[in-house]
Structure 1
Amino acid sequence: MGEYYNWVNVDKKEYICPADFDYGNKFYESMHKDSIPLHALHSLLINEWKGDRVLLFGDECPVPEQSSNGVIKTLYEQSAEFGYPGDTFDMICESYRNVSCLFKEAEKNVREEIRYYLEEYRETGRLDHYNEYGIDLDNPYEGLFLKTAKRRMFTINYSKKIYYSLAETDILFRDHTKNNFTDPLPFLMGYGRVAEPGEWLGDIIGVSDQRPEGYSLINEIYVDW
């Protein structure tokens, strides 16, 4: 079946799930520059998730108890507090909020999921599983599907004071040939069985349509495919 990935905000305890946008959740499915979930991530990074620690997290890679990386350390501590030491993906699914529901691009699939919740709630007066979208069951669609997924021009690493632009940075395969369809952010921020820990893992990442002053443009980024 393979390993499945979500974009996870460890500070706000929120995530987005590519499947809600009718996209695949596997690592390599996340990297196309025109991926709607990636555009949704941009919309969060420029607003609600600005300044938070975010990563692309896989479901087949437990986090270690000891790590020098701050974001992995935080995930382990959260999982231990929840009673699932190291079993972090399940902890996320059972305690974080899935904010895919904020986007109109995810409305079709999310409405279907919420319909199941409401049927169960009406029949039993309770839910047997976690309310992943964090909805008010008596007013379930309030505040949902109002955001639009939109790519920004510049992806910025505020911690390292560097940035890239798909219009200016060469995205290359390891054999130095041009890669015209990949956004490298999943490589830079990934963590899982399939994904080696990204070079930007734990850094503060943002996006903008304005070139960041005082930051260095990355000329080349190599990706594996």
Structure 2
Amino acid sequence: MGEYYNWVNVDKKEYICPADFDYGNKLHESMHKDSTPLFALHSLLMDSWKGDRILWFGDECSVPEQSSNNVIQLLYNHSAAFGYPGDAFDTICESYRNVSCFFKEAEKDVREEIGYYLDEYRETGRLEPFNEYGIDLDNPFDGLFFMTGKRRKYTVNHTKKIYYSLDETDILFQDHTKNDFSDPLPLLLGYGRIKEPGEWIGDIIGVSDQRPEGYSLIKEIYVDW
């Protein structure tokens, strides 16, 4: 079936799931430059996720007990504290909040999922296995669907002081031909069974419509397929 990925904020203990936006969540499926989950990510990076550490995390890998990368080490610590040492994906799904529910674009699927939770609660008096969206059972849709995803022009690595723009940076396949439809961010921040860890994992990533002063434009980025 393949490995499935979510956008994960390890500092806020939150994530967004592309499937909630009726979008594929395999490694490359959310790389399209017009991907709705990527638009949602950009909006979070402009708002409540600003300055936090994020990654594109797969469900078929474990994290080591010791890592030189601060994000991977934190994920292990979270998994161990939750009782799943090394099993970070299940830890994320069962103890982090899925904030896809903030977005209007995810409303259809999220409302349906919450409906299942409410049916279960009415039948059993409890939510199992967990309250994924962190809803208030007395007012389950309060505070949801208030954001809209929007792409920003520049993707910025504040740690390395570099940035790219799909208008100015050449996104290239390994054979040097141009890729006009992909955003490389899932590869730069990806961690999973089927790929090497992204070189930006652990860095502070942001987005902006203003060119970042004092930062260097990346002229070329190669994608691995």
Name the CA distance, whole Å, in 1 between partners of 2:128 and 2:158: 41
Return the alpha-carbon distance in structure 2 between the equivalents of residues 167 and 195 of structure 1: 27
Provide the C-alpha distance between the structure 2 equivalents of 1:171 and 1:63, rounded to a whole number of angstroms.
Answer: 29
Render the CA deviation track for 1:66-104: whole Å, top value 9, x for unaligned: 111000000001100111000010000000000000000
Unaligned runs of 5+ residues in structure 2 are: none
> Could you say which residue in structure 1 is the equivalent of 2:172?
172
* Deviation at residue 195 of structure 1 after TM alignment: 2.4
Unaligned runs of 5+ in 1: none
Aligned AA (2:183): D
CA deviation profile, 1:7-26 (whole Å, cap 9, x unmatched):
00000000000000001110
Distance 1:195 1:93 in 2: 21
Q: Distance in 2 between matches of 1:35 and 1:187?
A: 14
Q: Match for residue 133 of structure 1? A: 133
Aligned length: 225
TM-superposition CA deviations, 1:106-163 (whole Å, max 9, x none)? 0000000000111111222211210000000110001101100100000000000000
Range with greater deviation from structure 2 (192-201 or 67-76):
192-201
For residues 34-92 of structure 1, what are the alpha-carbon distances to aligned partners after superposition, in whole Å with 9 as ceiling and x for unaligned? Answer: 00001100000110100000000000010011111000000001100111000010000
The one-letter code matched in structure 1 to 2:180 is N
Superposed structure 1 runs of 4+ greater than 6 Å apart = none
Tell me which residue corresponds to 1:8. 8
* Residue 201 of structure 2 is aligned to residue 205 of structure 1: no
> Does the alignment pair 1:120 with 2:106?
no
- The Cα of 1:203 is off from its aligned counterpart by 0.3
Paired AA for residue 71 in structure 1? V
Give the deviation of 1:214 after TM superposition.
0.5
CA distance in 2, matches of 1:41, 1:140: 23
Q: Secondary structure at the match of 1:56?
A: strand
Deviations 1:171-219 (A, max 9, x none): 0011111000000000100000122100101100000001100100000
Q: Secondary structure at the match of 1:206?
A: strand
Q: Distance in 2 between matches of 1:24 and 1:18?
A: 6
User: Is structure 2 residue 150 aligned with structure 1 residue 150?
Assistant: yes
The two structures, once aligned, show a CA RMSD in angstroms of 0.6
Give runs of aligned pairs for residues 186-225 of structure 1, distance below 5 A. 186-225=186-225
- Rounded to whole Å, the distance in 2 between the matches of 1:125 and 1:9 is 31
Measure, in 1, the Cα distance between the counterparts of 2:162 and 2:6.
Answer: 24
d(CA) in 2 for partners of 1:6, 1:150: 18
2:40 alignment partner in structure 1: 40
Amino acid at match of 1:192: G
Amino acid of the residue matched to residue 23 of structure 1? Answer: Y
How far apart are the structure 2 equivalents of 1:201 and 1:77?
Answer: 16
Q: TM-score, normalised by structure 1?
A: 0.99
Query: Which amino acid letter does the alignment assign opposite residue 81 of structure 1?
Result: A
